Chain A
């Protein structure tokens, strides 16, 4: 049975366009500004909102997201405060929300309590950056108990047996790594991306969203052309936060403008054959 998130993404695909999924760290640089930035992302055409809870030691993230985590932690953002932020987002917008987490924050919140609270905040999917699919049994059960999709990552390095587990255990969409590495902007995407997407497509019947390293609207067009159903963009947007730290209106404008260009690139007529 596929949930609301997957249906939402399939609907976008049926319209012949790609999904645009921006990523922010909750509370970067503070909770109030995050809310204004979220408004701007929705207005720019975000199809799904992806949020991260700041963690002190994020080994899957490059320098831009690390700095965002630090800003949020300095602003005093805790997981309970992040959930209240998500409650506020839900009151303002109907856009589906997914979370990118590190495992320790979930463990310390309590696994079941975390997914229960996430569900109450309207969260539709959760990806845990440091839990591989075969160790995620307890998380998947808790997610499903509360109607949250357990999202997993796959890359060109993921072998067939583990991809099969992503297919059976996962939900929502497959987070497809556009370039092997950590998060961050990159000049080049992986040359093998079309082949990787084709392999994933054959193994997993679920929308494929590409992320990691997408820094320009052109990259979004390219991952769409390579066969992705949409694009996740984090560091490039967060970079705009960093660049306008002293000036909130300019920050919100810059993030919104850039997001609009990404959204338009994702929306372009289906470029696949």
Chain B
């Protein structure tokens, strides 16, 4: 490897089976080369614009501005083709796979959004796609399973462990270890072994860059995003990391409340450890066994988090706060009623956190919420919760 891929020398790395190191090396080299190749950038830029619909709007929400008493903008990643920010990443990685001569790509998925976005990119670019998804998630995210099927991807339901995202990643890593020679792993978030945290951040940083352009000559007081593995958040934050005037705030899944132990608030309640190839905050027991997480939103239901977020937390550059299920569901309904926008349950965590931080901002402040995805995929799930009285 050209770099150990650490953030602040402490988080990150590539803690994987020896067998995977050569292909991570190959991936790192291919990405560094592609990133600097004007032809690759032009091709990616054109697809993001003409196929996926970038730039996405930055919409000033009247309802949220009135509620918080400052200017509140929604970065509309929900309007991106595919319905979430995930498309920024999958088109980039699928193009890279093609450039590297790989015909088959694999992906893990939780909510199904990354699986859908990978299946979409595979259909677009003529790649064979296999998606690993926990059986529990297959059941709670049906529409996305159907979409992946229509795009021609094969969905493999994983029964191991808690049958959710972390188990899907384990299985994708195993499959990759078996098929390293001809398979490209399209990793879905800014976590995992180096070079993925950097690669995914580079592909998602377009979110923050556009926010910067759309607000120019002004700039945000705060950028708020939900954090599962951390890709939409790092994408929204990266452009502003070097500007200390911009507060960076992450909303973590608080589930039933951090005190209950039934949550996925890795940065708020975990401690440093090694999971899925990197050193980062991890939810684990006293001995280092990874604990099962809980969140109303499948896309945030993950006991790990990207290493760069661990670094931003430890240096105090960003803060991360838990938002529990009830608060997120409330924000989901509130935004639908007040703005006619149905956010993904993941993104609803960011909306809820902004509403909670109301007193922090004054009339001259500008708050940007990254609306990472749309909520159509969650309708069944929310209806079931409603029947159950939540």
Contact = CB atoms under 8 A, between A and B. Distances in A.
Contacts of A181: 19, 177-178
Nearest to B171: A59
A73 B288 contact: no
B277 A130 contact: yes
Interface in A89-131: 102-105, 107-109, 129-131
B17 A108 contact: no
B177 to A, nearest CB: 5
Nearest to A106: B288
User: How many residues of A sit at the interface, in one of the four size bands?
Assistant: 35 or more
Contacts of B22: 157-159
B178 A182 contact: yes
B282 to A, nearest CB: 7
Interface stretch (A23-31, A148-156, A234-242): A148-156
A105 B279 CA distance: 13
Contact of A59 (B17, B180, B286, B288): B17
B273 interface: yes
A104 B177 contact: no
A159 B19 CA distance: 11
Interface residues of B, number: 36
A55 interface: yes
A62 interface: yes
Interface stretch (B8-16, B86-94, B135-143): B8-16
Chain B contact surface mostly: mixed
A182 B177 contact: yes
Contact of A60 (B14, B177, B275, B286): B177
B131 interface: no
A43 interface: no
B360 interface: no
A66 B177 contact: no
B282 A104 contact: yes
Contacts of B161: 56-57
Contacts, number: 103
Interface string A224-263: 0000000000000000000000000000000000000000
B294 interface: no
Given A108-B273, A108-B288, A135-B14, A57 B180 contact: no
Interface string A171-192: 0000001001110000000000
B8 to A, nearest CB: 16
Given A57-B290, A59-B174, A108-B288, A130 B274 contact: yes
Nearest to A128: B15
B166 interface: yes
A154 B18 contact: yes
A177 B20 CA distance: 13
A130 B288 CA distance: 14
Given A102-B274, A105-B288, A109-B288, 12 more contacts: A56-B161, A59-B16, A104-B290, A105-B287, A107-B288, A130-B277, A135-B15, A158-B21, A158-B22, A177-B19, A180-B177, A181-B19
Interface of B: 1, 4, 13-19, 21-22, 160-161, 166-167, 169-170, 173-174, 177-178, 180, 272-277, 279, 282, 284, 286-290
Interface of A: 55-63, 66, 73, 78-80, 102-105, 107-109, 129-135, 152-155, 157-159, 162, 177, 180-182
Which 3 A-B residue pairs are closest in the complex by CB-CB distance? A108-B288, A59-B173, A153-B18
24 contacts: A55-B288, A56-B290, A57-B161, A57-B276, A58-B170, A59-B17, A78-B287, A79-B288, A103-B15, A104-B273, A104-B288, A107-B274, A108-B284, A130-B277, A132-B14, A133-B18, A135-B13, A157-B22, A177-B18, A180-B178, A181-B178, A182-B17, A182-B174, A182-B178
